[in-house]
Chain A
Amino acid sequence: MARERILIVDDSEMNRSILTDMLDSEFDITEAENGVQAVSILQKESTKFSLVLLDIVMPEMDGFDVLRVMNRFHWIEDVPVIMVSAETASTQIERAYELGATDFIMRPFDASIVHRRVVNTILLYAKQKKLLGIVEQQIYEKEQNSSFMVDILSHIVEFRNGESGLHIRHVRTLTDFLLRKLCEATDRYQLSETDISVISMASALHDIGKMGIDEKILNKPGRLTDEEFAVMKTHTTIGAKMLEDLPVHQSNPLVIRAYEICRWHHERYDGRGYPDGIKGDEIPISAQIVALADVYDALTSERVYKKAIPHEEAVKMILEGKCGCFNPLMLQCLKENADSIREALKLDLTDHSPRHQIRNFADAVIHSKGGGASERTLRLLDYERMKHNFYAAMSEEIQFEYTTETDILMLSPWGANRLGLPENIINPKSNMALSALLGEGWWQRIAADLQKTSPEKPETGREEQLLLGGEYRWHKIILRAIWSEETPATLTGVIGKAVDVHEAHTRFDELKEKSIRDPLTKLLNRAGVREQIEKKIQNYPTHKYALACFDIDFFKLANDEHGHLFGDKVLSYIAQRLDHSIRTSDLCARIGGDEFLILFEYDTDIGPIIARIFRALCGEIDGFTVNVSMGVYEMHEEGETYEELFHRADQALYFSKRSGRAQYHLYDDSMKDILTDSEEEQANTDHHREENS
């Protein structure tokens, strides 16, 4: 264990050396001749010192001035100061205590008194620091966990909205930034540091309601019709309802703030927003801020239907009221901080959550085990361990540590109880109970993870299902490898914990599933199938694949003549036929209105398979004859991208349509110049744009 360091500040060389002689067998000593030197030493490395012994009467800068500086920079909170002086006037002593001195030692020095006071003060502060560390760690990790889940959720929403991954992050950064500026400018909203961080985190969830909006509307490139816009607006109430329906955590501040934000981030300060038309400060400040951040980022980002607008112009448009009506106080903040906003966003692009070195208490305990610890130290450690266990139990986490030297896995008492295992498990890798809990091969999985860490970056983690009380529950396992100090470093153990994330994980699975499925037919959607096709081809690049695209002939007619409900019925019919006809190794999806896609994996000849599917898809429903036009592309070589596959299948489909529909064709090179529907549309639009400009 490193020795504690003491700074001795006294102008008399003799006084310094008397103190040094008394203390240097146990402590590392740094000396300063006067206040100025002391301050410059502390400025460089105040955290290295465990104690300052400070004289009062000194040239340049006296002891009181040093105390004042230590207060101004808050060093006094971490580094205790013992005054050392010949001054006996009680006013002087009083003044020193008022300025934060911990203790007072009178000259002439008595060696045993100096020693005892120094040791007592250092121990007292060391204990406080350790406690502080434990609490900090708990809070930090809790925040990390929720922040992590929020990131996943918001990413799913973005994935489905086809937004860049930056929108949510920008909104979050802007929300945080504007809230802070607002609090500086006014005390109307009374927000604590915690409120600000909760609101910023909750801002990431502002659009979760879009999960419930039809993708056709969500990703429509052009202008929305009135009906479509009405549907779009419901993402506010859908999001709010999702949160309201959460079976647990209703009183959690994050959920409360997220509800406010989801429901009211499209309200306007003048009451002309939606869904409730509330106005002024009836709209919670959280939602007001997110609304402004959302508008700013929407303006300055590129979208399917528009180019990015420069920062200055966006701010100007908002201030002129062209993009909605906002709280005048907020607009004032925006105006005054317009320049720093851009800086804040730029900074954000680096790293959002710097991975602090986790100040782990258990780590300190492990390291301090060596050497001849005094009885007092051991008692203190016992005490710390008792407190640590208490906090560990309160946190409801399974905490553990393992050292290769002893080959013993130690579980926290709460964790052992939760798992139904003893607190100390000798030779854990061949322990039957652990294998039953974690499944075969768990040791290899974890060992592989740990081998990938390094002394500089010792943290890692994975998700595992633990069999608890007959039920598999998802746990997030966070690990910190312990590397030895020598070079090359070797892995000597690990500390870590397992947190039950089953509920969140299940919900994540459901949402993930939702986000890649078409709600009507339950088939994969465009984004979902693309991801799976790419994964399949990447995993088995040598297999033979064919991609088929088809759409339903005269589907628009069916819609127009029999209504949308009938149209939906036809789509469901096709989906059902498709589902029955394909094999488990194939993938199928609805990728647009009446467009479908199939990926076949086959061995010898694709011809008969296609013929069978094609026949299965044609039929009759309520007097309407269902026929499809289909194009098929056989993948020829490795390394063809999804776009290439899809494009050729689409060209073959177009060929079928041109040839009179209700037929299928395999792609051949004669089709390579055919323009597909979407390309033709694109060409037309470009043409119009050129004419108009």
Chain B
Amino acid sequence: MTLQECYAALEGNYDDVIGRLRSERLVQKFVLKFIDDGSFKLLEDSLRTQNIQEAFRAAHTIKGMCQNLSFTRLQNSSTALTEELRGGNPPSDPSLFEKVAEDYQMTVAAIEAFKASLEG
């Protein structure tokens, strides 16, 4: 699996990220780092404990990473959740988080597959 194919699988924009970061080595490095980032777990836990401020920051961080890496699909859903949480109130629509969770799992799965192909 190439990096380009990985981007197709997670519905990101490969041309965009290469245009900005200018090096495939760098993009690959940060894509691999994404799976180790704890922001999604923090988002999940914070929502469970109703710590909305913390949840907002976690969603915001996910959104920022997606922007930098041009993970378009996850970026869209995390942006929607971030805006929902900005006011400090629990999300009125539970499907917003469910959508983020689903996109996140899909993104991580694509990166894991890419990582496995590198090692194998």
Point out residues on A near B: beta carbons under 8 Å. Answer: 11-15, 17-18, 21, 57-59, 85-86, 107-112
Contacts and interface: CB of A to CB of B under 8 A. Distances in A.
Contact of A11 (B19, B22, B33, B61): B61
A12 B39 contact: yes
Nearest to A89: B86
Nearest to A57: B60
Interface residues of B, number: 25
Nearest to B54: A59
Contacts of A85: 64
Most chain-A CB neighbours within 10 Å: which of B54, B56, B64, B69? B64
Given A108-B20, A109-B20, A111-B21, A15 B33 contact: no
B57 A11 contact: yes
B63 A21 contact: no
Given A57-B60, A59-B57, A107-B64, A14 B20 contact: no
Interface in B67-86: 67-70
Given A11-B57, A17-B30, A59-B57, A108 B37 contact: no
B37 A13 contact: yes
A109 B16 CA distance: 11
A12 B65 contact: yes
A57 B33 CA distance: 21
Nearest to B37: A14
A86 B69 CA distance: 13
Contacts, number: 57
A15 B22 contact: no
Interface string B21-33: 1100010011001
Contacts of A15: 64-65, 68
Given A11-B57, A12-B39, A21 B65 contact: no
A667 to B, nearest CB: 97
B34 interface: yes
A14 B65 contact: yes
Nearest to B75: A108
21 contacts: A11-B61, A12-B37, A12-B39, A12-B61, A12-B64, A12-B65, A13-B33, A14-B34, A14-B37, A14-B68, A18-B21, A21-B26, A57-B56, A57-B57, A85-B64, A86-B60, A86-B67, A109-B68, A111-B20, A111-B21, A112-B22
B37 A86 contact: no
The 10 closest A-B pairs by CB, nearest first: A108-B67, A110-B20, A86-B64, A107-B67, A108-B68, A12-B61, A57-B60, A111-B22, A14-B65, A107-B64
B27 to A, nearest CB: 10
Nearest to B82: A86
A85 B21 CA distance: 17
A15 B21 CA distance: 12
Given A18-B26, A21-B29, 4 more contacts: A59-B57, A107-B64, A109-B68, A111-B22
Interface string B93-120: 0000000000000000000000000000
Contacts of B17: 108
A669 B37 CA distance: 102
A112 to B, nearest CB: 7
Nearest to B38: A13
Given A13-B37, A109-B20, A18 B30 contact: yes
Contacts of B22: 111-112
